[in-house]
Structure 1
Amino acid sequence: MARGGVFCVEGQWHRNLDEEGSVQPTLELLERLGRIRYIHKDVATPDEIEYFLGRWALRQYADYHVGFFAMHGEPGKLWLTDRHSVDLADVAEPLAGRCEGRRLYFGSCSVMRFSDSELHDFLTTTGAAMVCGYTRSVEWVEAAAFETVLLDVLANSPRHDGAEQRLGSARWAALSASLGFRVAYASGKTWRPRPHASAQAA
């Protein structure tokens, strides 16, 4: 089976140049395990994210069908730096009608705490099959462990609801729910995990 492709745009997490922190080690781990191929780009301005998203939408990158947005966030908004942000509408614009069958993951705190209708508008504009992410603030290490599994599923599952099936299982549902994980589909359906009784009792 061909490894799934992930395209990642990562914001600048820290104010100070000597601070480190990146999702790239997670991508490298999955690549070394033979699970994914990836492209990673740093972005710090609205123009940069618009440029790279426009490039990703080209037909030559169709195999990179997972879009991973790694940056700080708040409901409906992504922070590229401590001074530059973009709304989901700004993300949708360069992708308008160009994301058929693609799966989008916002690895950003609280971005998915957004109304169903606005998420559906975003999916309608982009043409993406689904979008997922967090409705709460998340802790780095927990999120990194979670998205190692999530990215593998998004990249390799033949079903758009593969993340729902895997992360709603007894093994993963408690962590998924604690992170406020949420999925919205182009069909209009949304999904949130519910911890299994056995997991809650453990």
Structure 2
Amino acid sequence: MARGGVFCLEGQWHRDLNERGSVLPTLELLERLGKIRFIHRDAATPDELHFFLDRWLLKQYADYRVGFFAMHGEPSRLCLTDWHSVDLDDVADRMAGRCEGKRLYFGSCSVLRASDATLKDFLAVTGAALVCGYTRKVDWVESAAFETVLLDVLANGHRHNAAELRMDSAHWAPLASYLGFRVIYANGRAWRPSGRARVPAQPAAR
């Protein structure tokens, strides 16, 4: 069976050019384990974000059905750098009607703390199957551990609710709950994990 494809756009996390933090090692690990194929690009400005979104949504990349937005975030907003950010509405308008069957993951602090109405509108405009991410600030290492499972399930699960089923397991639900993970589906249904969080607080934020 062909490995699922993940298209990742990563913001520029650090002011210091010597810093090397990136989601790339997580993607490379999953690729080496035979779980996924991936394309990874950096985006520091809205123009760069728009350029790579347009490229990803070309027919030739149709089998990269998972969109992974790895960047800082705020409710309803993606922060590419300390100086550049984009609203979810702007991202939706750029991808309007071109995301049929896509599963969109915002690996960013608090983006999914947007209202249900905002996220449902985002799905209606883009045509994506689901959007998922975090409602709170998340720790880099904890979210990276979570992503090793989540990206595999999003890329390879045949059912749209595959991530929900996996992340509501006894093993992963406490971490999913602690991270404030949630999923909104195109049919309007919303899901949060049922497990009780048991992880220490005060993370270093994405």
Match of 1:126 in 2: 126
Is the aligned partner of 1:46 residue 2:46? yes
Match of 1:162 in 2: 162
More moved, 187-196 vs 113-122: 187-196
Secondary structure of the 1:143 match is helix
Secondary structure of the 1:81 match is coil
Match of 2:195 in 1: 195
Cα offset for 1:29? 0.3
Taking the aligned partners of 2:118 and 2:83, their CA distance within structure 1 comes to 24
Secondary structure of the 2:113 match is coil
User: What is the identity, as a one-letter code, of the residue corresponding to 1:38?
Assistant: F
**TM-score normalised according to structure 1 size:** 0.96
User: What is the identity, as a one-letter code, of the residue corresponding to 1:53?
Assistant: L
Taking the aligned partners of 1:174 and 1:192, their CA distance within structure 2 comes to 11
User: What is the identity, as a one-letter code, of the residue corresponding to 1:5?
Assistant: G
Cα offset for 1:13? 0.4
Secondary structure of the 1:112 match is helix
**TM-score normalised according to structure 2 size:** 0.94
Cα offset for 1:83? 0.4
Match of 1:137 in 2: 137
Query: Where do 5+ consecutive residues of structure 1 fail to align?
Result: none
* Per-residue deviation, residues 16-45 of structure 1 (Å, max 9, x unmatched): 111110000000000000010000000000
User: What is the identity, as a one-letter code, of the residue corresponding to 2:113?
Assistant: R
Match of 2:85 in 1: 85
Percent of pairs with identical residues: 72
Match of 1:184 in 2: 184
Is the aligned partner of 1:112 residue 2:96? no
More moved, 91-100 vs 21-30: 91-100
User: What is the identity, as a one-letter code, of the residue corresponding to 2:3?
Assistant: R
Match of 1:11 in 2: 11
Match of 1:31 in 2: 31
Taking the aligned partners of 2:181 and 2:19, their CA distance within structure 1 comes to 28
Query: Where do 5+ consecutive residues of structure 2 fail to align?
Result: 199-206
Output aligned runs, 1:95-106, within 5 Å: 95-106=95-106
User: What is the identity, as a one-letter code, of the residue corresponding to 1:37?
Assistant: R
Q: Give the aligned CA root-mean-square deviation in angstroms.
A: 1.0
Match of 1:56 in 2: 56
Taking the aligned partners of 1:81 and 1:144, their CA distance within structure 2 comes to 20
Taking the aligned partners of 2:142 and 2:170, their CA distance within structure 1 comes to 17
Taking the aligned partners of 1:124 and 1:87, their CA distance within structure 2 comes to 16
Secondary structure of the 1:9 match is strand
Cα offset for 1:147? 0.7
* Per-residue deviation, residues 98-125 of structure 1 (Å, max 9, x unmatched): 0000000000000000111110000000
User: What is the identity, as a one-letter code, of the residue corresponding to 1:29?
Assistant: L
User: What is the identity, as a one-letter code, of the residue corresponding to 1:184?
Assistant: I
Cα offset for 1:57? 0.8
Match of 1:146 in 2: 146
Q: 4+ residue runs of structure 1 moved beyond 3 angstroms? A: none
